[in-house]
């Protein structure tokens, strides 16, 4: 008798699409890199140091929890890298590095690892980290530096190397010395408190004061488009978020044009663009049903505008997305797809 025959046995389907979680996440990282590069070009060394620190902390924290949980390393799925990059891009470029590390640790530890890691988190980890430091360091997170200052590649902002648990120095004089007439307020704050509107052109060129990743609307849209075309991102979410935000803003402007800004300002200012394209689209924390996806996006858009107009904060994207994340499972429940053949509008 010759050697026993070896046959492969598997359950169907025997062919599968060449896709994987790593691949999706890797491409999101790729799409974030141009935005990160742009922010370094705008803000120089401080922004670079912040990106490296926050992303590094996220990766270390992920590894730490792998070890505590006795599981294999999950760094290779790139998701912690995404969290780190996104988080860094939503912080002020001169944010003290140690606070950035706190944000990174919180993002992964509280936002992800506690829930059981990738896929199980309820809230977007990057936003959990940001919400934590926003509450913990309210001054630092609203301290902005000017873009395109002449010395940005030769010196760090004075706040970057603040010692842990020390109050960061006031940078008003330093910033005004760097760029004449610098006010230190974001366009949203200037609109809210001074009723001054920034020109759309300033947003597109990045010549405004904001978090590192908030200032490059076109670049964000292009990177998002790449992901959507390659099907690594659900295009319906950004469309729903931006559409509903614009529509809400338009309605308010109709009511009182003197008080409320035009929809374009609402779309371009603050973190709405990066939030809609890269944060609201986080797969684990967004709904899965087709109707649910639209509802979720629309909700985020409306809540963002409401917070901006009627809340105490100047920016509402972060909380809007967190609220959307929290509601996603519920949205899924009430928007189950219609089963083939079932009567329309009736639960089968």
Partner 1 sequence: MILPLAQHIGKPAVPLVRAGEEVLRGQPIARADGFLSVPIHAPADGVIEAIELKPSARGPMVESIVLRVYEASTQELRWAEPRDLAALEPKELIQAIQDTGMVGLGGATFPSHAKLSVPGEFPIHTLIVNGCECEPYLTCDHKLMLEHPDDLMVGTRLAMRAIGARRAIIGVEDNKLDAVESIRRHLPADGSISVEAVQTKYPQGAEKMLIKSLLGVEVPPGKLPMHVGVVVNNVGTLAQLGQILPAGQGLTERVVTVTGPGIKKPGDYWVPIGTPMRTVLEWAGAPDVSEREIILGGPMMGQAVASLDVPVTKGVSGILVFDKPHMDDGAERKSYPCIKCGECVNVCPMGLNPSMMGMLAARREYDAMGEHYHLGDCFECGCCTYVCPSHIPLVQQFRVAKGILREKAQ
Report which of 182, 164, 152 is spatially closest to residue 48, judged by C-alpha positions.
152
Q: Is 342 in the site for partner 1 (CB under 8 A)?
A: yes
Q: Which stretch, 2-10, 138-146, 208-216, 217-225, contacts partner 1 (CB under 8 A)?
A: 2-10
CA distances 192 to 183, 197, 257, 266, 324, Å, are 14, 9, 14, 12, 24
Alpha carbons 188 and 265: distance in angstroms, whole number: 9
Given candidates 1, 15, 150, 258, which one binds partner 1 under the rule CB under 8 A? 15
Q: Does 283 bind partner 1 (CB under 8 A)?
A: yes
Contact call for residue 128 and partner 1 (CB under 8 A): no
Scan residues 211-250 and list those touching partner 1 (CB under 8 A).
Answer: 234
User: Nearest to residue 248, comparing CAs of 184, 308, 174?
Assistant: 308
- Region 16-45 residues binding partner 1, contact defined as CB under 8 A: 16-17, 19-21, 23-24
Paired tokens of 54: 């926050």
Kindly tell me which residue out of 1, 5, 139, 163 binds partner 1, with binding defined by CB under 8 A: 5
User: Which residues have CB under 8 Å from 104's CB, separation 6+?
Assistant: 53, 54, 55, 56, 57, 58, 61, 83, 84, 87, 129
Considering only residues 294 to 333 of the shown chain, the ones binding partner 1 according to CB under 8 A are: 332
**Can you read off the two tokens belonging to residue 104?**
């990174």
Our finding on whether 8 is near partner 1 (CB under 8 A) is: yes
Helical axes 21-43 vs 217-229, angle rounded to 10°: 170
Say whether residue 92 binds partner 1 (CB under 8 A): no
* 6 near partner 1, judged by CB under 8 A: yes
Asked if 288 interacts with partner 1 (CB under 8 A), we say: yes
Binding site for partner 1 (CB under 8 A): 3, 5-17, 19-21, 23-24, 77, 116-120, 234, 283-290, 293, 332, 336-343, 348
């Amino acid at each position: 008798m010759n050697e026993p025959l070896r046959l492969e046995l598997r359950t169907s389907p025997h062919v599968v699409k060449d896709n994987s979680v790593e691949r999706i996440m890797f491409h999101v990282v790729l799409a974030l890199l141009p935005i990160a590069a742009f922010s370094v070009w705008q803000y120089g060394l401080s922004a670079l140091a912040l990106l490296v620190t926050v992303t590094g902390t996220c990766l270390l924290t992920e590894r730490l929890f792998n070890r505590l949980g006795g599981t294999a390393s999950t760094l290779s799925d790139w998701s912690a890298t995404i969290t780190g990059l996104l988080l860094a891009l939503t912080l002020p470029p001169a944010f003290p590095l140690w606070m950035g590390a706190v944000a990174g640790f919180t993002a992964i530890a509280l936002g992800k690892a506690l829930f059981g890691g990738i896929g199980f988190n309820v809230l977007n980890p990057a936003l959990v980290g940001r919400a934590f430091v926003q509450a913990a360091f309210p001054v630092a997170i609203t301290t902005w530096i000017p873009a395109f200052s002449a010395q940005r590649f030769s010196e760090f902002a004075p706040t970057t190397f603040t010692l842990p648990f020390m109050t960061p120095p006031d940078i008003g004089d330093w910033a005004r010395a760097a760029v004449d007439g610098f006010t230190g307020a974001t366009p949203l704050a200037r609109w809210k408190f001074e009723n001054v509107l920034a020109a759309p052109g300033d947003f597109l060129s990045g010549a405004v004061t904001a978090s590192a990743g908030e200032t490059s609307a076109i670049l964000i849209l292009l990177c998002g488009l790449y992901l959507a075309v390659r099907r690594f991102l659900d295009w319906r979410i950004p469309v729903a978020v931006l559409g509903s935000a614009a529509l809400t803003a338009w309605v308010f402007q109709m009511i009182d044009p003197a008080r409320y800004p035009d929809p374009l300002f609402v779309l371009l200012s603050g973190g709405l663009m990066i939030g809609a394209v890269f944060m609201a689209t986080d797969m684990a924390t967004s709904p899965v049903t087709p109707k649910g996806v639209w509802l979720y996006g629309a909700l985020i858009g409306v809540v963002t505008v409401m917070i901006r107009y009627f809340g105490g904060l100047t920016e509402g994207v972060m909380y809007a997305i967190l609220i959307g994340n929290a509601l996603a499972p519920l949205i899924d429940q009430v928007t189950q797809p219609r089963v083939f053949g079932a009567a329309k509008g009736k639960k089968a």
